[in-house]
């Protein structure tokens, strides 16, 4: 069993966008635009949610991270956030829960399917709804949704770290997915390419 006490400073995060792939005629996440972002830092046990205009205020949180934790973050959130970040986020250790699930199960699962079976809670909306809210100027709604998303992702991550598995619903039955978390708690000495003097 993994040690439930956090040794590393994990930053669990999620981004919402102003647009969708169909709007930009591309499947590249970095072609989209961020609307809102939420970051949970395990060292401080705090959630920080920011509007795109305040995004640079979270760079210190990323600078302190030993690992970035997300759901589909390797293919979506990190490339998109890296477009804005003055350094290189790919130099920070990444724990993508979806990638770990896919490696074990052989296919992708929606966060809702995993979260509802593993921790008994679900997301409060979806990315398309967040884009609609952006167009309607409902920024507070997006911020609440994004933070809730990170809370759900953090709970799934905590469960996986403790139990080395998550669950999902297959029809009416719950099934377990064993996860290889062997590298999750090891600190990597990456040559950081931060451009900011923190």
* C-alpha R_g of the chain: 16
Stated pTM of the model:
0.90
Q: Read off φ and ψ for residue 83, nearest 5 degrees.
A: -65, -30
SS3 170: strand
Residue with tokens 């970095």: 30
pLDDT in tens, the chain (198 residues): 445 554 799 999 999 999 999 999 999 999 999 999 999 999 999 999 999 999 999 999 999 999 999 999 999 999 999 999 999 999 999 999 999 999 999 999 999 999 999 999 876 677 788 999 999 999 999 999 999 999 999 999 999 999 999 999 888 889 999 999 999 988 876 545 454 544
Tokens standing for residue 138: 């409902």
SS3 167: strand
Tokens standing for residue 96: 């993508």
Distances 158 to 6, 22, 63 between C-alpha atoms, Å: 9, 34, 22
The confidence score (pLDDT) of residue 126 equals: 73
- H or E element: which one contains 67? strand 67-70
The confidence score (pLDDT) of residue 128 equals: 82
Q: 174 pairs with which residues across the strands?
A: 169
The DSSP symbol for 177 reads E
**What is the set of domains in the chain, with CATH numbers?**
10-178 (3.30.420.10)
């Amino acid at each position: 069993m993994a040690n439930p006490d956090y040794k590393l400073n994990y930053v669990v995060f999620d981004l919402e966008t102003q647009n969708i792939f169909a709007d930009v005629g591309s499947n590249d996440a970095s072609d989209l635009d961020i609307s809102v972002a939420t970051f949970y830092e395990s060292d401080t046990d705090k959630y920080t949610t920011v509007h795109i205009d305040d995004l640079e205020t979270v760079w210190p949180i990323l600078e302190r991270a030993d690992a970035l934790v997300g759901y589909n973050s390797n293919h979506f959130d990190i490339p998109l956030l890296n477009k804005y970040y003055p350094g290189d986020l790919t130099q920070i250790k990444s724990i993508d829960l979806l990638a770990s699930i896919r490696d074990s199960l052989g296919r992708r699962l929606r966060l809702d399917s995993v979260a509802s079976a593993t921790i008994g809670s679900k997301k409060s909306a979806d990315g398309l709804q967040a884009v609609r809210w952006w167009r309607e100027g409902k920024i507070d709604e997006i911020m609440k949704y994004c933070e809730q998303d990170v809370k759900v992702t953090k709970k799934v991550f905590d469960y996986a770290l403790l139990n080395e598995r998550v669950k999902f619903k297959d029809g009416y039955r719950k099934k377990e997915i064993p996860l290889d978390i062997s590298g999750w708690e090891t600190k990597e000495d990456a040559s950081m390419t931060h451009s900011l003097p923190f």
